[in-house]
A and B are shown apart, each in its own frame.
With several copies, the nearest count.
Chain A
Amino acid sequence: MTATTMTLAGAINRGLRAAMERDPKVLLMGEDVGQLGGVFRVTDGLWKDFGPDRVMDTPLAESGIVGTAIGMAMRGYRPVVEIQFDGFIFPAYDQITTQLAKMHYRSRGLINLPVVIRVPFAGGIGAVEHHSESPEALFAHTAGLRLITPATPQDAFDGIQQAIASPDPVLFFEPKARYWDKGEVDDARVAAQLEGEHGAAGATAEMARARVAREGADVTLVAYGPTVRLALQSAEVAAAEGVSVEVVDLRSISPLDSATVVRSAKRTGRVVIVHEAPTSFGPGAELSARVTEQAFFHLHAPVLRVGGFHAPYPGSKLEHDYLPNLDRVLEAVDRVMTH
């Protein structure tokens, strides 16, 4: 094992590089991903080292980027598309939901589309409109897509490679406010997995699993991507107040590893879900519904959700009031603990 400290953005960069070295069919596509290295520099250095044929600066058209990536995937390429910001994925919505998601089914399994769509997402970085959104629920409802989101450099490094190796289309949501968080990365693990007996199948299964990020007995606190750090902080504070919080990092939104959450819920009897996406019709709704369906008679309290409000993401001066924060998570933990 060779553990190195790196940022989450750096881990994605290293993961992309490893994938490109492993498989010459891996291509990067997007706006400014080449010479500039992307507006967040996630693809930094790759254009220089792999050339413009493998790191392609595309025309400014998201539908076109995803649509041509589909065509290239039909010839065996594995395009990794960057959408510059969450709020700019919607021009590609039709290509993603009616084409990318459905081609495998439409072709009765004859066509695989191993396209990865990287989406820097969520807020908290003081950006202007359309640069802070959490659109994951708008994709999780569509069958045929996988959605994963890393919360740590290790998961970022592993996840991007698993996503690329997967024969299914994967939306890879990168919590941009966590890009500069550092962590240890063991770069041998995913390599062994991909080169191992189960290869891409194993990697696909692995990336779909939730992770218990902290054990606890009283409340199950579920988070993913941008809110995992907040959940861990909340657990810390709650512990000081005598409440033992188990933190589950979902890692995958589609499939949703509700089994891991249900297992935890059956022990704790109390569940709080925290995400940046608006609560109403958000990802937490599905998890809440499943946990209730499957663990109803173990619950001491209703599943609670802490998320964004049913309002457009506000100007950045208000974003920290709009987003879930420590106080709001603890308030929900308190509420479930009253039962």
Chain B
Amino acid sequence: MEAHGPLSDEGLVQMLTPAGERVEDERFSSFAAHLDADDLRAMWRDMVLVRAFDTEATSLQRQGQLGLWVPCLGQEAAQIGSGHALRPSDYVFPSYREHGVAFTRGVDLPEILRLFRGLQHGAWDPAAHGFHLYTLVIGAHSLHATGYAMAMDRDGLVATGDADRDGAVICYFGDGATSQGDVNESFTFASVNRAPIVFFVQNNQFAISEPTTCQSTVPIAQRGDGFGIPSVRVDGNDVIASYAVSQWALRRARAGEGPVLVEAFTYRMGAHTTSDDPTRYRTKADEQYWAERDPIARLEAHLVSLGELSDDFADGVRAEAKELGRRTRETVRSWGKPPLAEMFQHVYAEPHATVEAERAWFERYEASFADAEARA
């Protein structure tokens, strides 16, 4: 770790040590002060369920049931922590790895797999969940998020005077994405429009095989300041700190105080995707180091030390996890091939002559096989 580099732990907000010990943070503790044991158990449960789902999805991919899977293994605290700070009035722009956030927004996890089974490109109703579709072009969605936030502001949903009604946008992306022009343009647009948006960077230390040092020479959070966007670095394996910092950022944004950049420093414990082979670019020792900082184990240790994780509760959650795994398998296996006609649907909202002509040709063409079969 370089002293001042993007992989240092300089200035990380932490409220839970890797051993699960609760520590205070001068600036941010107040934003987590109201969390009680029920809240923490709920977070633990969410993390456990998301991990079970994640594990199941990886194995479904191995079985050939999915074309690809993008695990969020190791990033659960950053995702569940920030997700718990969200309200229905907020709107989320995920990248493609935010299954944990999706869960907090009420997306039925197996539905996500429609995308990775190749049935369709978007798999849920964004408006119903306040959770936009995944975007695979790195960083492209950061501008949509910014525009959406500008529009929320126009629509009078920000700084309404009633803090419970105010809304904001949160936009997730990775350390690699911070190099993209689009992401930096978002910072400018958000800043000059004082848009109600939280840019939430999960710095999982890798963009596929490239370490964060390929993208920056300084901590990612520093980027915000250059655009006039207040920034903070948080231990992304600490669900309480992730929650607290997100609360701070979201409340600010909802109150009309403009954009914030949060860097959640975490670690991608698994492969980039099921197509990836991390042994080519990182060491076992590194993986071991981070395994000891597992976000779920950390909260678990904390709850246990408080005497707040009963066997009953834990067993219940584990059973739920198992059931989620089973349901995921069954759901995925139940999906048939989409109708061919879908190729021509929703290309445009209104009819387009080229699409109509090709659709008509294709229908005649398909029918000719049916005819031939009928004749045979």
B-contacting residues of A (Cβ < 8 Å)? 31-32, 34-37, 39, 53, 57-61, 63-64, 66-77, 87-88, 90-91, 94-95, 98-99, 102, 104-112, 126-131, 143-144, 146, 166-168, 200-201, 204-205, 208, 254-259, 279-280, 309-312, 314-319, 321-322, 327-328, 331
Contact = CB atoms under 8 A, between A and B. Distances in A.
B209 A256 contact: no
A74 B151 contact: yes
A34 B213 CA distance: 14
A254 B357 CA distance: 13
B348 A317 contact: no
Contacts of A322: 343
B291 to A, nearest CB: 22
Given A37-B280, A75-B148, A75-B151, A108 B180 contact: no
B190 to A, nearest CB: 9
A108 to B, nearest CB: 5
Interface stretch (B17-25, B111-119, B229-237, B241-249): B111-119
Given A74-B144, A321-B340, A311 B355 contact: yes
Contacts of B299: none
A145 to B, nearest CB: 9
Contact of A67 (B125, B133, B185, B210): B185
A60 B353 contact: no
A71 B185 CA distance: 14
A36 B280 contact: yes
List the 7 shortest-distance A-B pairs measured between CB atoms, nearest first.
Answer: A71-B147, A67-B143, A316-B118, A68-B147, A64-B185, A75-B151, A36-B209
B121 interface: yes
Nearest to A87: B137
B68 A127 contact: yes
Interface residues on B, range: 35 or more
Contact of B354 (A73, A77, A87, A256): A256
Contacts of B180: 60-61, 91
B351 to A, nearest CB: 7
Nearest to B148: A71
B120 A108 contact: yes
A314 B151 CA distance: 31
Interface in B86-135: 115-122, 125-127, 132-133, 135
Nearest to A112: B349
Contact of B348 (A67, A168, A280): A168
A108 B182 CA distance: 25
Nearest to B152: A75
A40 B280 CA distance: 13
B58 interface: no
B67 A95 contact: no
A130 B338 contact: no
B121 to A, nearest CB: 4
Contact of A60 (B127, B138, B186, B342): B138
Given A39-B208, A67-B143, A68-B147, A318 B343 contact: yes
A91 B182 CA distance: 9
Contacts of A328: 365
A322 B365 CA distance: 13
25 contacts: A31-B208, A57-B214, A60-B176, A60-B215, A61-B181, A63-B185, A64-B185, A64-B188, A64-B189, A71-B146, A74-B132, A75-B152, A91-B137, A98-B140, A105-B346, A107-B133, A108-B346, A109-B345, A129-B121, A144-B347, A146-B348, A254-B354, A311-B358, A315-B115, A331-B365
